[in-house]
Amino acid sequence: MKLLHAWRSVLQHEDLNFLLTNRVPRIALTRWMGWFSQIRHPWVCRASIAVWRLFTDLDLSDAKPQRYASLHECFTRELQPGARPVDPDPHVLSSPCDAIVGACGRIERGQVFQAKGYPYATAELFGPSQDASAFDGGCYATLRLTSAMYHRFHAPHDATIEHVTYLSGDTWNVNPIALRRVERLFCRNERAVIRMRAQGAHEIALVPVAAILVASIRLHFLDVLLHLRWPGPKELPCRVDVRKGQELGWFQHGSTIIVFAPPGFTLCEGITEGRRLRMGQALMRLPPSDPAADPAADPPADPTAGTAPAEPASPDGRESFTAPSPGVASMSARA
């Protein structure tokens, strides 16, 4: 145990960690990881998980499956029923994922922070096609998923998903060491912008950001495969009603989700940098007397629309966005 702790301490040395996880062919390594994780062989899977445990405190005790055919199955594991209770308070926006809270706070003049002294513009993060001004004066929270965490993410509130924008990019590591060294890192990396409206009242945005070794980000409410070599379309309008806590998709390895809320929202008590959260715990509080938080408000018409279990996208990459169908969208670093 002491030897393992010493090994991990060496790897956390800032210069060495940054060199090993960033000064490498990031995109090529990420594509390779996407291929390797899909190998279905018990020996390969068991050996990979054993190596994984050398680098992280991997805990599979609350996982639904206890045996895995591939590393991918372990990365994207489901949890046992009731393992992540969702805060039932309609005035609360719940955390969409297990995470460590990173930079968070107020959005001022279209600017937020990835780390102390490292600002970036919400307009650049959202991309040229999206107007991020609706969130100016609101609040944001950066949620970092480590590789050992539960990788699925969920709806933070009853809402209607209205639009997804895909932005191709790099795969820098998103750990605190890299965030203190690479300016505008989230704006450089591959990402998606998921815009939703909480029961017709307030805009909310989730921005899943890819990172090194994150071979895909999957969304269950669209039937399209997005990857670095795919030419488009990159604007995906949709209309999908989701319930608070409903699964939206998963990361294949671990990365970051940034949550944006408009003016009137506030961070819940105790949400500070370094806090560990579980999916479903309180993250933000809706404005007082907000109709979206009224339990008597009309619920979404069909809370299960477009959320059938993920299925592979069509091999030719064709897609249809006029009516969401069961399937999966994947923001992938693999061709």
Structure tokens at 100: 């460590």
Sole residue written with tokens 């949709």: 238
A 10 A CB-CB count for 10 gives 10
98 given a catalytic annotation: yes
The span from the CA of 96 to the CA of 102, in Å, is 14
Catalytic residue among 72, 91, 151, 154: 154
Count of helix runs (H) and strand runs (E) in the chain: 8, 18
41 given a catalytic annotation: no
Sign of the torsion angle spanned by Cα atoms 153, 93, 180, 195 = positive
159 contacts 200 by C-beta, under 8 angstroms: no
Report CA-CA distances (Å) from 307 to 11, 201, 221: 39, 22, 5
The span from the CA of 222 to the CA of 219, in Å, is 6
DSSP 3-state assignment of 94?
Answer: strand
The span from the CA of 2 to the CA of 179, in Å, is 29
22 contacts 30 by C-beta, under 8 angstroms: no
DSSP state of 66: S
Catalytic residue among 87, 98, 170, 241: 98
5 given a catalytic annotation: no
CB burial string 72-95: b at 16+ within 10 A, e below: bbbbbbebeeeebebbeebbbbbb
Catalytic residue among 168, 216, 255, 330: 255
The span from the CA of 123 to the CA of 187, in Å, is 9
The span from the CA of 111 to the CA of 134, in Å, is 13
Q: Which helix (H) or strand (E) holds 4?
A: helix 2-11
Query: Which of 181, 234, 174 lies closest to 209, judged by CA?
Result: 174
- Catalytic residue list: 98, 154, 255
